[in-house]
A and B are shown apart, each in its own frame.
Chain A
Amino acid sequence: MPELRARLFSPARDTLWGAFAALILALLISFVAIAASGRDAATGFADLLSGAFGGPGPLGETAIKSAVLVLTGLSVTVAFTVGLFNIGAEGQLIWGALAAAVIGQRALPGAMALSLLGAAVAGAGWGLLAGWLKVRRGVHEVISTILLNWIAIHLVHGWLVAGPLAAAGSGAMVSIAGTEPVSASAWLPRLFAGSRLDLGFPLALAVAAAVWFLLTRTVRGFEWRAVGAGRDAARASGIPSSRCICEGMALSGALAGMAGALLILGTEHKYPGVFRTGYGFDGIAVALVGGGTALGTTAAAVVFGALRAGATRLQLVGVHPSFAELTQGLAVLLVAAPRIFQPLLARLRGRPSAAASAPPVPTVQP
C-alpha cells in the first residue's frame, strides 16, 4: 500500500507533461464517446468551452467550482506530504460547511472571517482525529477517514441539520429545509456584476500560495516532507514524526473545512437539507492529477472546475452533465495507470527491477 501510494503521487519530473497529456487524451476519448452515441460532439464541445470560459458568467461558474476543488485538492496533497492518504476530505468539508452555516447565522462583526475560521477549525478537528488515531493507535488512515466520512454524514445530515439545527417552523419539510439562512454580512462578496464570481476564488489562490510556501520554503514544511518521504529516517534524525503527522492532518482538514465554507458562504447561504457535493472525493482526483504538489494541484483544480462548469451546457445537446465525471475519471486513470504499470512494463522490456535508477520517462504517450 505505501508503495502504491508513493507511486500514485510520484512527484517525478514527468508529472506535469504526463498530466497534461492525460487530460488531452481524456478529452479526446470523451469526444469520441459522445460522437459514437450519435450526438453532435463538435457542438457539444463548443458549448462546453463557452460554458466554462465564454464571458463573465461562465468564467464565474468555473472560478466558483475551481475554488472549492483547489482547497479539497490541497487538503489531499497536504496529507500526502506527511505520508497519509486522506480519503476524508468529504467529512471534513461537511463539518466545515456546518460550522460556517452556524456561525454565519449570527450577524457578528467580521462574520465572514469568523465563519471561515470556524470552518477551518471544525475541519481541522475532524482531520486531526484521523491523524491522532494513526500515531496513537496505529489505525490506517484510509480506513479511519472513510469511516469518519460516514460518521460526519450521518451526524450532520441525519441528526443535526434535521433536528437541533433545523430552521424553525420547517415542520414536515424538515428533510429539505436545512438550517436557518446565513446572515448576509457573512456572504462572500461578489466581485463583478453579471457573474457569480465571489471572493472565494482569490481566497483559494491565496491559500494555495501559502500552502506552497509552507511546504517548499519553511523548515516545518521540510520536516513534513521528510516524514512523508521516509518516516523512519525522519524520526532517526530527530524530527517529531508523530507531531508532524498530526499537524499535517489538521491542516488537511482545515483546508477541506474551508472548502465547505466557500460553498455555504458563496452559493448555498445556509446548510441545505440535502448536501452531497462530492467535492471532497474529487479532491483526491485533483491531487492525483496534480502530482501531489501544491502548484500542480491548483492547476488541476482549475481544469476540473472548468470541466464541471462547462458540462452543464452539454445538456443542450442531450449529454448528461455527469459527462464531466467521465472525463475526470478518464484523466485520473490515464495519469495513475502508467505509474502503476511502469515497473511491470520495464520488466517486460527486460530491464532489471531497479527501475528507480532509470531516468524518468514520460508517463503518457498520447
Chain B
Amino acid sequence: MNALELSGIVKRFGPLTALDGVSLAVAAGEVLGLVGENGAGKSTLVSVACGLYSADGGKVRADGRELPPGDPRAAIDAGLGVVYQHFMLVPPLTVWENVILGREPRRLGAIDRRRARSQVSAVARRSGLSLDVDARAGDLSVAAQQRVEIVKQLWRGARVLILDEPTALLSPQEAAALVEIVRALAAEGRAVLFVSHKLREVLGAADRIAVIRRGRLVQVSPRSQTDAQQLAEAMTGGGRAGATRPRRPSRDGAVVLQARELAGLSERGGPGLRGLSLHVRSGEILGVAGVDGNGQTELAEVLTGLRPVQGGLTLDGDPAFHGDPAAARRAGVAHLPEDPRRRALCLPLSVEENLALGRHAQAPYALVFLIDRAGRREMAHKLIEQFDVRPPEPSARTANLSGGNQQKLVAARELSGGSAPRLVVAVHPTRGLDPGATRRVHEALRDARDRGAAVLMISFDLDELRALSDRILVLFEGRSAGEAPPDASDEQLGRMMLGQVPARA
C-alpha cells in the first residue's frame, strides 16, 4: 500500500490548468524526487496533497484512505507533514517550544513542559537530527531551523514528509547533510516527497524521480535509469537548458572596481563588511559565493550607493561614485538587486515607465522636463523584444507580469536601457527563474562583460557561479575567504564558505 497516493489530480485557476491529471505514489521507506521548472505545477501539487487547495478532479489517499479535499487538518491527522521553503518558526521561542506550538501537551491545564521537552529531544535523537532543543530558534542557522521544521512534523506523527525546495537556502555541505537525513528518514520507514529543481540533490536523495512539465507528469524513473542531462531535457521538453557557450579567455582589462578594506556594520548588527578587499577588471565576471548573511547584501548596497562604507572604494579611479544611488548610476553602475520587486520596480506603474526608471530624465525618455512619450514607447518596444518580456505590451501594469518577466524587465533596463554600464552588480540574478529566462539573463550578463563592463555577480547557486565567472571570490563573515577558479569543486567552495580554508590569493 502506498503511504501517499495522488491519482488523476486536476487543478484549474480560472482559465489556467495548473495540474492536468497528475498521478503519483510514494511508498513507505521510499524517497520520491519531484522535479520541474518554475510554474510546472510542483507547488500546486504539494498544496493539493496537503489539503490547502481542493482539486477540481482526482483523489488524494493516505495509507489507502481517501482524504477529504481542501482539508489541511485531515491531511495532518492522516500523517502528512510539509516542510516549506520558508520556515515558520517563532524566533524568540526555544526549539522545543516551536515544535509543540499549537499542539501543546497539557497537564492540569498548563503546558507540560518537562514531558514536551523530553518528547521533542527523543524524536530528534531517534531520527539522527542533531539539535539543541533549548536554543532560541532565532539564533539557529538556516540548516538548523530546517531541522526544527522536520522535527516538528515528526513529533506530530508525520509518516509522509513533503520537503518543498529544501536545499534552496543551504550551503553545499548543509545540503549534503540534509540528503543524509532524508535517506535516514526513509530507512526508518517514512515516505518522503523531495520537491526541487536542483537535479544534483534530487539525484542524491531520491529512489525514483518524477518529472512534471506544464502541469503534466512526463516521466517517472528509478534513479539508476536517469541522469541530470536526461532529467533536464524532460523538464524543458527537449532543448538542453542553460547551454553554456565557450568561455572567452578573460582579457587583461584595466581594473574598473577597486575595493580596499571595506568595513561597515549591517542593520542586524551582524558581520556586515569587515575588511573586504577585491577588484574587478573590465571584461571580467567576478562571482561572489558565500552562505547568506556573510556580507553579500551589504556589498551590493555599498556598490550601488545605497549604504555608506568605510575604506577605499573606486570605480575607474573615482572614489565618489558610491555617495548616493544617483551618483552611482551616473558613474555607470547597473544594479540587478536581490529583491527586484521591491528594489528595482514600481509595481503599480507600467512596463514602459519601469523601463525608463533611473534614466527617465534623459533622452530618449525625456525632452528637457517633459516625458517623451513617443521616444519612451519606441525604446520600450525595442527592449521588450530584445529580452522577450511577456506580454509585449509597454502599457501593461508591471504588477501583472510574472516574476520571471519582471526580472527580465529589470535586466533589460539595467543592461541595455542606455549607455553601456561600467560595473554591473547582479545579486541572485536568476533566482526563481525558469531555464529559458535564466539563459536570457546569463546571456545579457555575458554581453555586458564582452562590451567591457566589470561584472560582480553574487549568487548562492554554485553551478551558476561556475558557468559565468572568470574568478570566484568567497565571502565569509564580511571579508574574502579567498578566491577559486571557476572549475573549483563544490567541496572546495563549500569549505571556503564555511571559513575552513585560510585565505589564499
Q: A residues touching B (Cβ–Cβ < 8 Å)?
A: 6, 11, 217-220, 222-223, 225-226, 229-230, 232-240, 350-352, 356-358
Contact = CB atoms under 8 A, between A and B. Distances in A.
A225 B360 CA distance: 12
Contacts of B328: 238
Contacts of A222: 353, 356, 360, 371
Contact of B329 (A6, A223, A237): A237
B497 to A, nearest CB: 27
A233 to B, nearest CB: 5
Given A222-B371, A351-B13, A357-B400, A229 B346 contact: yes
Given A237-B357, A238-B358, A356-B399, A232 B14 contact: no
Nearest to A223: B360
Contacts of B324: 238
B347 A230 contact: yes
A226 B370 CA distance: 15
A240 B305 CA distance: 13
Given A218-B370, A226-B349, 20 more contacts: A6-B348, A217-B370, A219-B361, A219-B371, A225-B349, A226-B360, A229-B346, A230-B346, A233-B346, A236-B306, A236-B325, A236-B337, A237-B357, A238-B324, A238-B326, A238-B328, A238-B330, A238-B358, A239-B358, A356-B347
Contacts of A356: 347, 399-400
Looking at A6, A238, A350, which has the most chain B CB atoms within 10 Å of its CB?
A238
A258 B304 CA distance: 41
Interface of B: 13-14, 53-54, 304, 306, 324-330, 335, 337, 342-349, 353, 356-358, 360-361, 366, 369-371, 399-400, 402
B366 A219 contact: yes
A115 B327 CA distance: 41
Given A238-B329, A351-B13, A219 B344 contact: no
A352 B13 contact: yes
A357 B358 CA distance: 26
A232 B337 CA distance: 11
A235 B400 CA distance: 22
Contacts of A226: 346, 349, 353, 357, 360
14 contacts: A218-B369, A219-B360, A219-B366, A222-B356, A230-B342, A230-B345, A230-B346, A233-B345, A236-B325, A352-B13, A356-B347, A356-B400, A357-B399, A358-B14
Contact of A236 (B335, B349, B400): B335
Given A220-B369, A351-B14, A358-B14, A240 B326 contact: yes
B54 A350 contact: yes
A137 to B, nearest CB: 19
A217 B400 contact: no
Q: Which 6 A-B pairs have the closest CB atoms?
A: A238-B326, A237-B358, A229-B346, A230-B346, A229-B348, A238-B329
A358 B13 CA distance: 10
A217 B326 contact: no
Contacts, number: 85
A199 to B, nearest CB: 29
Given A219-B360, A222-B360, A351-B13, A233 B399 contact: no
A351 to B, nearest CB: 6
B71 to A, nearest CB: 14
A236 B326 contact: no
Nearest to A354: B13
B343 A236 contact: yes
B17 to A, nearest CB: 14
B369 A219 contact: yes
Given A350-B54, A356-B400, A234 B346 contact: yes
Contacts of B327: 238
A309 to B, nearest CB: 35
B500 to A, nearest CB: 35
A232 B342 contact: yes
Nearest to A229: B346
B492 to A, nearest CB: 34
A342 B366 CA distance: 37
A158 to B, nearest CB: 42
A226 B328 CA distance: 19
A7 to B, nearest CB: 11
Contacts of B399: 356-357
Contact of A233 (B53, B357, B370): B357
A61 B477 CA distance: 70
A183 B302 CA distance: 59
A235 B357 contact: no
A351 B335 CA distance: 35
Given A219-B366, A356-B399, A357-B400, A232 B343 contact: yes
A234 B329 CA distance: 12
Nearest to A6: B348
Given A219-B369, A356-B399, A236 B344 contact: yes
B53 to A, nearest CB: 8
Contacts of B369: 218-220
Q: Which of B53, B327, B348, B356 has the most CB of A within 10 A?
A: B348
Contacts of B344: 233, 236-237
Contact of B325 (A229, A235, A351): A235
A76 B406 CA distance: 31
Contacts of A217: 370-371
